[in-house]
Chains A and B, each alone.
Chain A
């Protein structure tokens, strides 16, 4: 009960915009999680790389801002993880990771 009250009245709680901003922002990592089930051809290398840098910066921002915003930190930590995963899928597909890329394998299978 006390925990709920503390949350409700917290400077980053649901009465403040510090809370609802990140709530909205969850759309981005959730969309990326949905996209992990899509084939890697669809991944945009540009956007994924930008997202990786963006979330790394904002994790630091969320930690340093006053009041410290752990909700935002959690959001960007989740996004960072998902975007790094997508980036690794993209790199593997494009052959940047050394082994024969899936793209090449597909092309060879078609011929």
Chain B
């Protein structure tokens, strides 16, 4: 039972053998890199980059909810990305 579920995931047209899986999965790396950078001093934060990440994160959050099918992975990812961007901006403002 579990075996066939795993198989259907593995062979899925948007599964781990395709770019449609890895590209969005890797997008989480951006938010993770941002979280790692929380420990950097705020002088090194780039306003344009963080604002860009924040805005694209917010807009993609909405975008992922209005497309069919709804893409919860992208939604979560975008919210998180926007959150890290916002946090970096507030760190720098302080």
Asked if A42 and B56 make an inter-chain contact with CB atoms under 8 angstroms apart, the answer reads no
Residues in chain A near residue B56, CB distance under 8 A: 24-25, 27-28
- The size bracket of the interface on B is 20 to 34
How many residue pairs bridge A and B at CB < 8 Å? 79
Q: Please give the distance in Å from B75's CB to the nearest CB on chain A.
A: 13
| A1 at interface by CB-CB < 8 Å | no
Residue from the list A20, A28, A38 in contact with B53, Cβ < 8 A: A28
Residues 60-98 of A contacting B (Cβ, < 8 Å): 60-61, 64-65
Residue from the list B26, B36, B43, B55 in contact with A53, Cβ < 8 A: B26
| A102 at interface by CB-CB < 8 Å | no
Asked if A47 and B33 make an inter-chain contact with CB atoms under 8 angstroms apart, the answer reads yes
| A4 at interface by CB-CB < 8 Å | no
Asked if A24 and B37 make an inter-chain contact with CB atoms under 8 angstroms apart, the answer reads no
| A34 at interface by CB-CB < 8 Å | yes
| B11 at interface by CB-CB < 8 Å | no
| B9 at interface by CB-CB < 8 Å | no
Asked if A24 and B46 make an inter-chain contact with CB atoms under 8 angstroms apart, the answer reads no
Q: Please give the distance in Å from B16's CB to the nearest CB on chain A.
A: 13
Residue from the list B29, B46, B63 in contact with A50, Cβ < 8 A: B29
Residues in chain A near residue B29, CB distance under 8 A: 50, 53-54
